[in-house]
């Protein structure tokens, strides 16, 4: 009597499994070490955790299915691993690395594909919001401006990126479905950086946030020290 062959289908890989994967954790550590050596702000576990959380918040507010939301969180958690190679082209490098990791973990290629698209398009120089997941990740990533990201311990040697991040005491993303608005609220201590300096380095990122909000049918607004900008 012939035995029936058992067919094992693709695995439903969870965010928890991705976060606890030793290779993922070491690559995030490595990415932050490269960025620190190059003089950039923190791009480690804190950053990807914050971006993943904001991405989930946006997706849930939009009412997306739970699995789609989880895939978006996974994309957010992996979005910067390409920095372990180099800052240049890190979205594309990171997408290739994410495929290897998720494929090793047994994720279905149908679920991997939108994750790769979101990772590969999250940077303003060569990316664009290509999906709801992608738009949520972009807004979450560009909204993470905060003093805790500064890795340079010497205030006197801060460059403009250090000063602007150090000046931001609070940052918060809020969505109002009734007004169809996504608002980034910042509290900036102007003794470290001016509001104009914020726009000097973040204008292209805010434009990308606006385009991302447009993609999901919302408008993007910025509130800085109580002043509303749209």
Instruction: Collect all residues with Cβ–Cβ distance below 8 Å to 119 and sequence separation of at least 6.
Output: 75, 78, 79, 82, 91, 94, 95, 98, 137
Q: 15-229 architecture in CATH?
A: Orthogonal Bundle (1.10)
Tens-binned pLDDT, residue by residue, of the chain (230 aa): 445 544 556 789 999 999 999 999 999 999 999 999 999 999 999 999 999 999 999 999 999 999 999 999 999 999 999 999 999 999 999 999 999 999 999 999 999 999 999 999 999 988 999 999 999 999 999 999 999 999 999 999 999 999 999 999 999 999 999 999 999 999 999 999 999 999 999 999 999 999 999 999 999 999 999 998 87
Token digits for 33? 């070490």
**3-class DSSP assignment, residue 168:** strand
Contact 183, 221 (CB under 8 A): yes
DSSP for 15-40 reads HHHHHH-HHHHHHHHHHHHHHHHTTP
């Amino acid at each position: 009597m012939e035995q029936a062959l058992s067919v094992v289908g693709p695995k439903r890989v969870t965010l928890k499994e991705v976060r606890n994967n030793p290779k993922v954790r070491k690559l995030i550590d490595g990415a932050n070490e490269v960025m620190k050596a190059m003089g950039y702000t923190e791009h480690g576990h804190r950053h990807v955790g914050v971006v993943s959380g904001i991405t989930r918040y946006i997706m849930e507010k939009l009412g997306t299915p739970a699995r789609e939301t989880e895939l978006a969180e996974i994309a957010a958690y992996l979005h910067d691993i390409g920095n372990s190679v180099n800052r240049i082209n890190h979205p594309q490098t990171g997408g290739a690395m994410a495929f290897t990791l998720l494929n090793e973990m047994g994720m279905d290629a149908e679920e991997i594909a939108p994750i790769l698209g979101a990772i590969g398009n999250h940077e303003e120089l060569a990316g664009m919001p290509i999906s709801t997941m992608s738009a949520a990740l972009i807004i979450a990533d560009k909204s993470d401006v905060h003093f805790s990201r500064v890795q340079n311990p010497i205030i006197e040697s801060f460059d403009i990126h250090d000063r602007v991040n150090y000046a931001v005491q609070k940052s918060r993303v809020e969505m109002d479905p009734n007004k169809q608005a996504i608002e980034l609220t910042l509290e900036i201590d102007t003794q470290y950086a001016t509001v104009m300096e914020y726009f000097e380095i973040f204008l292209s990122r805010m434009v990308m946030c606006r385009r991302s909000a447009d993609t999901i049918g919302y408008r993007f607004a910025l509130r800085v020290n109580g002043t509303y900008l749209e």
